[in-house]
Structure 1
């Protein structure tokens, strides 16, 4: 085969290598975050303004929202603060919203709703979508595992939901999920209300 015929293959190989390197770099960054999470458990004095964090995440995800023609509805009081660092709250909101957009159903535009409310002694954050969904019983134990991915056709490292669960549990909260294959998924996050909140 003449050398000229290999030029296209080389360019393609370089592109694939660059993409693999970028995925590897992101995975290393996320593993570093996981390591930090495991070392830093309690930051009970820290409060983050939920509406401001959600708006920052919305702006970050705007290209994906526009590309997918998603309808993103946010119902969050302007003054609500949650008992964790801004960085950790941002990670929770970003992972839940980006997953709702990435794992969209191919036959319809994403409709994603993020809501907040108080319930008993908890701040409740809910992210609901009309995406691909999954059988909760079938993936039990796998959903929040590190490097676990339910839909492999979408790029990702399988660390996002693991980190979300760790952050929530480190703050004394919990996360629940309801889903129906082909209909959508709802993640509900419960953060404890501190006596001063």
Structure 2
């Protein structure tokens, strides 16, 4: 059983230099805060989504990242919303492919979202994304809460 607050604090510490340099503001609304999952995998999901949210926000804009959780059926839904550069419809079609990148002038290898998608789908979950160019993106991660419905 993992506490999301603890995982997020660990990720914040890992990303402290980027958060400080960008002035990023991260807000939490954890309607559900515990889940049975592999710690390093859940940490990897949050690390990649938060790192991208900071990395893909224009320099003249302060990154604003909203993380929320809720229960939906047999799933915990984790939502990570940002005010970054957003993506076109064409970019969204390829964003979860290995080595695919939207912008090549930003540091990265194109494996972060591929890894997030692989972790989530391997655990029987799914990932959804909404994005609008210039306005930001919202990633929704659906993770199974329990093996059998209560």
- In the superposition, the TM-score normalised over structure 2's length comes to 0.92
Partner SS, residue 98 of structure 2 = coil
Q: Deviation at 1:132?
A: 0.5
Q: Which has the higher helix share?
A: 1
Partner SS, residue 94 of structure 2 = coil
Indicate whether 1:168 and 2:120 are aligned.
Answer: yes
What is residue 146 of structure 1 aligned with on the other side? Answer: 98
Q: Which has the higher strand share?
A: 2
Partner SS, residue 133 of structure 1 = coil
- In the superposition, the TM-score normalised over structure 1's length comes to 0.71
What is residue 22 of structure 1 aligned with on the other side? Answer: none
Question: Which of 1 and 2 has greater Rg?
Answer: 1
What is residue 9 of structure 2 aligned with on the other side? Answer: 55
| Structure 2: gaps (5+ residues) | none
> Is 2:74–2:149's contact at 8 Å kept on the other side of the alignment?
no
For residues 140 and 96 of structure 1, the distance between their equivalents in structure 2, rounded to whole angstroms, comes to 15
Partner SS, residue 149 of structure 1 = coil
Report the count of equivalent residues.
Answer: 149
Q: What value does the CA root-mean-square deviation take over the aligned residues?
A: 1.7
Q: Deviation at 1:146?
A: 0.5
The equivalent position to 2:38 in structure 1, one of 72, 82, 85, is: 85
- TM alignment of 1:21-170, pairs within 5 A: 47-76=1-30, 80-135=33-88, 137-170=89-122
The equivalent position to 2:132 in structure 1, one of 180, 189, 197, is: 180
Q: Deviation at 1:94?
A: 0.3
Q: Deviation at 1:84?
A: 1.9
Partner SS, residue 91 of structure 1 = helix
| Structure 1: gaps (5+ residues) | 1-46
> Is 1:105–1:132's contact at 8 Å kept on the other side of the alignment?
yes
